A and B are shown apart, each in its own frame.
Chain A
């Protein structure tokens, strides 16, 4: 089948898509957007998190056909050209990235939290990120990064 999706603001088309292919597979293997990661492909780790019509979702759990005509924003679409999004900047600055495999999914989740919550409390940050696994960092620096991005937004 043919699938049409608006990815990071651009209409994209994928041909010969199989029944059963996930949005994640279409993004990674057919559209060349490998930023969303494939750590479990079962909806457990959050590495593949993207915005689907503005709401964070696990791309591995979305059938390609379900995405027809919808808007997808991936980690590749967070930065404004060369300019990183504040959440991306704070991840780099706080050392929240080690191997970085969890990073794209965490960034989308954290981006959403910071966008919709003013001054998130620690408990709120933890609750929001609880669906994203990271095996390297122990999360402390990721929490720092989200706090920093939220604080910067407040002062912006």
Chain B
């Protein structure tokens, strides 16, 4: 007997909304979501399901001397307790390198590393039973300084190959050349968390074929399937994944969390197993943004032309590799920003340490250097006596520029225009004597009436690569079906691409409506029964899955034209689909789809591959590594209470080029949400790690911006189509997160005159206490 899917899943979004590309139809899942009926992964439920729980290491670095689960297993209501010995397949997984144990064997490398798992009747029984698992640790000295981890051979080796995950050097022109004006600085960035609201969760349901169905929130079904199947020792087709509602992702769901664990427990107990992390566990259960230390030196002519950039970048990857190799690749190749730089020497190190593992987060690898080089640009402007925006415009790259790895920018790059747009926006009015106290730094807590408050303005500009880089064939697959249902032509789109909240389901409908000229389009739930769509990350889904849906729709349309040609004896040349009809080249209606198709179902599956990229030369770092870039710029206006160190961002404006605004409202939504995350990094968000231990794993102590922290935004969206991309699109999701951080930081510097070489900027950095 095959078990039924869990109650409350999959989703059935409304298919009645209309609107093609370039318009802003409402989300088909919006009504379900406002009714509270949309099933997120933590809402899944199955009769006779068990609850899983995870025992995690309290130590950042320790040897496991003894592990005894017998007492936990004897607890009433506990059905299974598993350790690494119960992993039937390979106990190592990983996105880039297979270096992460599903369950720790003889050693733990970070605080929170999973050591054992169990399943019980009630979540509280499960949590209590964890306390009966006996683990004896021999505590070891943790490796916590990434710069030392890169160079100090005497430190303990955390992995067989040592503590270096990746080193990359980029050399362009003559990096030793001299310049009239030189500025340098050392910049640090703290560990940011994705802090998606929906906790890691899912439901694993064992099947009678020895396989398992997993319903979960993720960013990439197929990569989870591959890694999970390998650990379970099963062929991938026996590990079937279905996307359930995702409560935000931002990169934090790229690595596995509960996938292998819930499946192991379900297969062992023969019962559905639900796992839901609580917030504290979520902080331990996913990877974070890489903290970094960056040494920068910029040289320029007296007129303000950049002559060289020299930089050394250290990225702390924590216990396991995750996306560290990509962070080093992106970090170095994007290290000089959207500027023309004839000479450069850049070095990047990504290292292992006993700090929490770091991996993907929105703006991957570009956030850190952007904060540093944009700080440098302001410093350089000050040294030259120039306006910071003018200095940036003067050096802005454009179409035809060659970047630091020697790659030609053969698509629009309107960087100067973005900055100019911001410059031209009006500034908010000066704060008057009668300012509402709630608008001052410190807000309603009435800490100032305006005395000691100074205002500053700052810019931040960024470049981010879209899609996966350095030679990866980063493709997507879509299946599109056209048939007559209830007397109407209906299209159905099926992909494995994850809707994580960004609006992908809406977009797939828009594309199908535009391509097939039918108003009714349904989107099949994303699962692994269709080909790989790649990850909902790197700002790539609209581009790549959008491209696949377009290709499949066009194949369906071609099949329809051939049918018309055969049945009606008309030449298919120049035919098109509109309003549910087939229209000939001369505009004459050939037939309605209803009449032509009758009972027939037309279905096509197509892939979209973006143009090829190439690995970087290991010695010189030269190479055509990237597919496309996204560009955005911010201008921040801040009020700073210099006595108390409190900051109020008064206005945050953004200009971004999106190539083609496929859904203009969704684009604005991405810019607003991304800008808030960047603001968070500038002034409040940090996982505080001391000696490898996390000090603030809760929403009480890890602060994300509230509605009181986000100021009004003016947004300018440019549409300069990329000729190489479907519909001219340019990835949208990441850039606004990246450029808002330096804009806010630079504004605080402008207000205070302080160096502030670290984000998040805390009150004590401003008051000097």
A residues in contact (CB < 8 Å) with B: 18, 20-21, 28-29, 32-42, 44-45, 47, 74-76, 78-79, 84, 88-89, 91-93, 95, 97-104, 107, 123, 125-127, 129-143
Contact = CB atoms under 8 A, between A and B. Distances in A.
Contacts of B196: 99, 101, 135
A97 B279 CA distance: 22
Contacts of B577: none
A140 B699 contact: no
Contacts of B250: 135
B707 interface: yes
Contact of B501 (A84, A98, A127): A98
Contacts of B676: 137-139
B710 A138 contact: yes
A136 B501 contact: yes
Contacts of A88: 34-35
A123 B712 CA distance: 12
B279 A91 contact: no
Nearest to B436: A123
Interface in B679-723: 698-700, 704, 706-708, 710, 712-713
B197 A39 contact: yes
Interface of B: 8, 24, 26-27, 29-31, 33-40, 42-43, 45, 122, 124, 194-199, 245-248, 250, 276, 278-279, 436, 438-439, 444, 500-503, 665-666, 668-669, 671-677, 698-700, 704, 706-708, 710, 712-713
B35 A102 contact: no
In the A-B complex, the 9 residue pairs with the closest CB atoms = A35-B36, A99-B501, A101-B247, A138-B672, A100-B33, A44-B699, A75-B36, A34-B43, A138-B676
Given A36-B36, A104-B36, 5 more contacts: A41-B278, A98-B669, A123-B439, A127-B444, A135-B250
A133 to B, nearest CB: 6
A101 B197 contact: yes
A130 B443 CA distance: 12
Contacts of B671: 138
Contacts of B698: 40, 42, 44
A139 B707 contact: yes
Given A127-B438, A134-B197, A91 B34 contact: yes
A39 B35 contact: no
B699 A29 contact: no
26 contacts: A18-B122, A34-B8, A37-B198, A39-B198, A39-B199, A44-B699, A76-B37, A89-B34, A93-B26, A95-B24, A95-B669, A97-B29, A98-B669, A99-B246, A99-B500, A100-B34, A100-B501, A129-B706, A135-B194, A135-B195, A135-B197, A135-B673, A137-B672, A138-B669, A141-B669, A143-B707
A10 B382 CA distance: 67
Contact of A32 (B29, B45, B198): B45
Given A18-B124, A35-B35, A137 B669 contact: yes
In this complex, the member of B276, B444, B665, B706 whose beta carbon has the largest number of chain A beta carbons within 10 angstroms is B706
Contacts of A97: 27, 29-30, 33-34
B537 to A, nearest CB: 15
A143 B713 CA distance: 12
Nearest to A19: B124
Given A32-B45, A130-B707, A99 B34 contact: no
B529 to A, nearest CB: 24
A138 B673 contact: yes
Nearest to A18: B124
Contact of A74 (B36, B500, B501): B36
A39 B39 CA distance: 14
Given A37-B40, A139-B710, A103 B33 contact: yes
Given A45-B699, A137-B669, A139-B707, A40 B279 contact: yes
A139 B675 CA distance: 11
Nearest to B503: A98
Contacts of A100: 29-30, 33-34, 38, 245, 247, 501
In this complex, the member of A18, A74, A131, A137 whose beta carbon has the largest number of chain B beta carbons within 10 angstroms is A137
Contacts of B35: 35, 75-76, 78-79, 84, 88
Nearest to A21: B124
B708 A126 contact: yes
Contact of B700 (A42, A131, A138): A42
B710 A140 contact: yes
Contacts of B26: 92-93, 95
B592 to A, nearest CB: 32
Nearest to A125: B707
Contact of B276 (A21, A38, A47, A95): A38
A95 B30 CA distance: 8
A39 B276 CA distance: 10
B64 to A, nearest CB: 30
Nearest to A45: B699
Contacts of B248: 98-99, 101, 135-136
Contacts of A45: 197, 699
Contacts of A138: 669, 671-676, 710, 713
